[in-house]
Structure 1
Amino acid sequence: MKKLTAFLAALVLCAAVLPAFAADAVSSATLNITELPEIRENPDAKILVIYFSTDDTVKAAARTIADALDADVFEAVPEIPYSEADLAYYTNCRADKEQADSSARPAISAWPESMEQYSTVFIGYPIWHGQAPKILYTLVEGIDLGGKTVIPFCTSASSGAGSSAKNLQAVSAGETEWLDVTRISNGSTAEDIRAWALSLGLEGEKTMKMTIGSTPVEVKWEDNDSVAALKELAAGGLEIRMSMYGGFEQVGPIGSHLPSSDVQTVTDSGDIVLYASSQLVVFYGSNSWAYTRLGHITDKTPEEMKSLLGNGDVTITLFMD
């Protein structure tokens, strides 16, 4: 994972070891990407792609990386947006002043909800006056990157990344491992960026997926021994024939006993629990009993859950992907 393979040299992506050119206030690459990949929600994502961009360049690169690795995406949006005048370099504009001020920390309008689930964080930015924009300093000082692998990337037409990533690392919170920054240069295609992202070997971790009948659902799984054991069963594909019960749930035999840690629980629509260590229960209503929580379906309303589960017995399929 920690080596960038030699074939990267053949791409227009290159690990940045070049000095930043003082003559270039901004070196904005033009990527050969005609359509921005859509953002897909992945409740089990272990990779987060953070980026800042005042145009679509870094955004396109970040979304392409996220699409390749099934990662979450967070855009660092300034509390006060940058106007065209703010980016008129060498006019004593806002960007000039911020980049010249070592203490400048532009405010961010929103922060990632949590960093806990992520083991790897990409951080993407343009090159401004040879460095990362100061809003990235605000970000890395304000989030906990402790114990994570950070993969910085930048976009530029000609300037190298110089010391931009090392300077970000110097102010980051927590003990982190930073890989060398990779510069995505002029003319890079989506295929180039995907190939680089996949070459890092980060996509190997599979997540447990669930379908109700033929309908896929997004699940936020718990991090416990019960779910770990269920994933082992799902690795070979697991079909569970469910039955309606009580007008608020579907229940079915898993075929094995799983570790359990039952506690009195009031369930909501979309909750997935383990009952008696061997029964999978999915709720479209509410109940109170001693269960072990397994997860929660995040992309269906109570009405949609009732439509899926309240009209007869169903088959639930669990698999790793």
Structure 2
Amino acid sequence: MKLNQILLPLLLVVVGNLACKTDTPMAEDKPIKLDSTSLDNSPLTDRSSNRLRIRIGSNTFSATLLSNATVTAFKAKLPITLFMKELNRNEKFADLPSSLPTNAANPDTIQMGDLMLYGTNTLVLFYETVRTSYSYTKLGRIDNPTALAAALGSGNITVTLEMEL
């Protein structure tokens, strides 16, 4: 009986509080608006503006670019067609016409499909996974790089990079 005397008032308080809840949002329920500049390094930013198309001969690859100062400066140079040279049977590289801001770090392992900046103006597209002791600024990654090595071949090649619409 004593248990009912405790539980019944408690149940009435809980039900009463639920009944007072309204569908009209209170001031504290309003969504928080974030300044888009605070999201520059977030992978959750608008990805549609960070979609890159890479054309290699008759093959086309899509890539997702990161959101950072280097990528912003890189996108300002697009579209661009580059003559990329073969290096180490795992990458193609080309010098850009001007330098980009950098935030280089050693990734330890570079994945097949990574698009990187070496130094301030050398664009590197990796078509094999490789360990490295060098530092790069990561720009982005090809979404599905499985056919990338075959498309790039073993020699020098012309590659066109442009933003997807």
TM-score of the two chains, using structure 1 as the length reference? 0.35
Partner of 2:73: 229
Distance in 2 separating the partners of 1:246 and 1:227: 25
Q: 1:242 to 1:227 in 2, by over 3 A?
A: same
1:222–1:294 CA contact under 8 A, matched in 2: yes
Distance in 2 separating the partners of 1:218 and 1:264: 25
2:112–2:145 CA contact under 8 A, matched in 1: no
Q: CA deviation at 1:174?
A: 6.9
Q: CA deviation at 1:314?
A: 1.5
Q: 1:311 to 1:174 in 2, by over 3 A?
A: farther
> Where in structure 1 are there 5+ consecutive unaligned residues?
1-102, 104-166, 178-203
Listed one character per residue, the Cα deviations across residues 146-184 of structure 1 (whole Å, up to 9, x for unaligned) are: xxxxxxxxxxxxxxxxxxxxx6x95xx87168xxxxxxx
Q: Does 1:318 align with 2:130?
A: no
Distance in 1 separating the partners of 2:151 and 2:77: 24
Moved over 4 A (4+): 204-207
1:241–1:316 CA contact under 8 A, matched in 2: yes
Q: What is the CA RMSD across the aligned residues, in angstroms? A: 2.7
The equivalent position to 1:209 in structure 2, one of 42, 45, 53, is 53
Partner of 1:175: 31
Q: How does 1:230-269 map to 2 (within 5 A)?
A: 230-234=74-78, 237-265=79-107, 266-269=109-112
1:247–1:310 CA contact under 8 A, matched in 2: no
* Pair member with larger Rg: 2
The equivalent position to 2:149 in structure 1, one of 306, 309, 318, is 306
Partner of 1:296: 141
TM-score of the two chains, using structure 2 as the length reference? 0.65
Identity %: 27
Amino acid corresponding to residue 274 of structure 1 in structure 2: L
Distance in 2 separating the partners of 1:247 and 1:215: 20
2:54–2:60 CA contact under 8 A, matched in 1: yes
Q: CA deviation at 1:315?
A: 1.5
2:50–2:64 CA contact under 8 A, matched in 1: no
Q: Which has the higher contact order (CA 8 A, sep 6+)?
A: 2
